[in-house]
Amino acid sequence: MITELTFYTTEGCHLCEEARVFLQQLLQHYPVHFQVEVIDIVSVDNLIQQYGTRIPVVKNNASTAELGWPFDYERLAQFAGISCEK
């Protein structure tokens, strides 16, 4: 089963770039488990109002739960349902 995630971001956001790296790592480690849709909040007015001061945000489309910054790879993986054993 594929988990669908939405990544709310915008160009020029350095925190978003950090979060994008974590998402890329997640996709590299679990390529068949996740599908990520990237949405630039500037493209839709109500998204600017909703996420403008909160980005980067990752949303689980099935549960509608959201993970807002700050987060690291381990927290993202946990949010996505992956256990990161150390």
- Tell whether 60 is covered by a domain: yes
pLDDT of residue 45: 86
Contact 52, 41 (CB under 8 A): yes
Q: How many structural domains compose the chain? A: 1
**Domain enclosing residue 69, as ranges:** 10-39+50-79
- Tell whether 35 is covered by a domain: yes
- Name the DSSP letter for residue 30: S
pLDDT of residue 1: 82
- Tell whether 4 is covered by a domain: no
- Tell whether 84 is covered by a domain: no
pLDDT of residue 83: 75
* pLDDT profile of the chain (86 residues), mean per 10: 95 97 96 95 93 96 96 96 71
Q: How far is CA 56 from the centre of its chain?
A: 7
